[in-house]
């Protein structure tokens, strides 16, 4: 895989101190970790999510520990007007938006032939249309201020399909497509677009994912991931490095990079492996459906 680091960047080697960073999905998990990594750099922060209490907790912790100015803006990013309003309010409050981290996201489990399309539309609103609206508003503000960085948090499954996660995968493929185009389009505006592709990370993501598997809906809120994953703090620190370097696309672990390499360069082998993963995951949900009917 080629090294995608660009040699020169406005922020490279320089400090992020005082930069205004908007982080969506900052109430927990990867978003909270990215917010803390940016706080350590001395950024002024605007944190967004729906859970007001958890958002306030993160904000209070960051102010206590790092002394940063932190504004919380309760936002449902899947609502276009709220997504646009978030950026507007951030710019009004701090006079700039230098960094936008589109991190908020939700998963959906279900086979492609069974997914309820209303569920899928909701996930697209949160994972794709919300980030698009925030990105459009942020570009407007960044242009006025001479540049900035947009970070879109995708996933390794934005690079290859995830069995029983095809709907989620599709949202991340879409985000990647828009990010790549925007990176080229916005170069003349001195705006970097950085795609972060984490693999399995130890957060509440699976518990909050929608279940669109007939007979298994009642398992909503339980953990369904295939393992534990890495600490979100690692994603947070790596994201800050990527912002400073203006990187195009970032993997967090060598294992993630190797998986994506295999998917791209050995597609037949990868497809064969996916068939086994499909069987395993299908059995997981079928077993869950059976468990509940016997209770």
Ligand X SMILES: NC(=O)c1ccc[n+]([C@@H]2O[C@H](COP(=O)([O-])OP(=O)(O)OC[C@H]3O[C@@H](n4cnc5c(N)ncnc54)[C@H](OP(=O)(O)O)[C@@H]3O)[C@@H](O)[C@H]2O)c1
Residues serving a catalytic function are: 168
- Which part of the chain contacts ligand X (CB under 6 A), choosing from 63-71, 74-82, 86-94, 176-184? 74-82
- CA 282 – CA 287 distance, rounded (Å): 8
Window contacting ligand X (CB under 6 A); options: 38-46, 47-55, 62-70, 261-269? 47-55
Question: Is residue 51 part of the contact set for ligand X (CB under 6 A)?
Answer: yes
- Is 76 or 233 the residue whose CB approaches ligand X more closely? 76
72-75's contacts with Cβ under 8 Å and 24+ in sequence apart are 72/46, 72/47, 72/48, 73/46, 73/47, 73/48, 74/48, 74/49, 74/50, 75/24, 75/48, 75/49, 75/50
Nearest to 125 by CA among 177, 163, 82: 82
* H/E stretch holding 211: strand 210-211
Of the candidate spans 84-92, 99-107, 256-264, 271-279, the one that interacts with ligand X by CB under 6 A turns out to be 99-107
Using DSSP bridges, classify how beta strands 99-102 and 70-74 pair: parallel, antiparallel or unpaired: unpaired
Site string for ligand X, 140-169 (x = CB under 6 A): -------------x-x--------------
Closest CB 169 distance from ligand X, rounded Å: 10
- Given candidates 19, 78, 183, 186, which one binds ligand X under the rule CB under 6 A? 78
Query: Closest Cα to residue 248, out of 180, 178, 174?
Result: 180
Determine the 3-state secondary structure of 213 from DSSP. coil
Binding mask 190-229 toward ligand X (x if CB under 6 A, else -) reads --------x-xx-xxx--x--------------------x
- Give the binding site for ligand X (CB under 6 A): 24-31, 49-51, 54, 75-78, 103-106, 126, 153, 155, 198, 200-201, 203-205, 208, 229
């Amino acid at each position: 895989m080629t090294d995608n680091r660009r040699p020169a960047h406005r922020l490279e080697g320089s400090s992020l101190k005082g930069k205004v960073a908007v982080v969506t999905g900052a109430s927990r998990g990867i978003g909270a970790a990215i917010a803390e990594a940016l706080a350590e750099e001395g950024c002024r922060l605007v944190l967004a999510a729906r859970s007001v209490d958890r958002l306030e907790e993160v904000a209070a912790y960051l102010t206590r520990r790092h002394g940063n100015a932190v504004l919380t803006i309760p936002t449902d990013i899947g609502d276009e007007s709220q997504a646009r309003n978030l950026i507007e309010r951030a710019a009004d409050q701090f006079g700039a938006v230098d960094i936008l981290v589109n991190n908020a996201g939700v998963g959906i489990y279900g086979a492609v032939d069974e997914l309820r399309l209303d569920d899928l539309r909701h996930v697209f609103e949160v994972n794709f249309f919300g980030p698009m609206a925030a990105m459009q508003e942020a570009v407007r503000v960044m242009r006025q201020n001479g540049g900035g960085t947009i970070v879109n948090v995708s996933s390794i499954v934005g690079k290859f399909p995830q069995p029983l996660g095809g709907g989620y995968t599709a949202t991340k493929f879409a985000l990647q497509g828009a990010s790549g185009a925007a990176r080229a389009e916005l170069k003349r505006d001195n705006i970097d677009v950085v795609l972060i592709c984490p693999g399995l990370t130890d957060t509440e993501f699976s518990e909050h994912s929608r279940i669109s598997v007939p007979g298994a809906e009642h398992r909503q809120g339980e953990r369904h991931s295939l393992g534990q994953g890495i600490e979100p703090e690692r994603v947070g620190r790596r994201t800050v490095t990527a912002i400073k370097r203006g990187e195009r696309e970032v993997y967090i672990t060598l294992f993630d990079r190797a998986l994506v390499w295999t998917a791209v360069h050995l597609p037949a082998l990868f497809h064969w492996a996916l068939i086994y993963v499909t069987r395993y995951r299908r059995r997981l949900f079928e077993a869950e459906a059976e468990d509940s009917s016997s209770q």
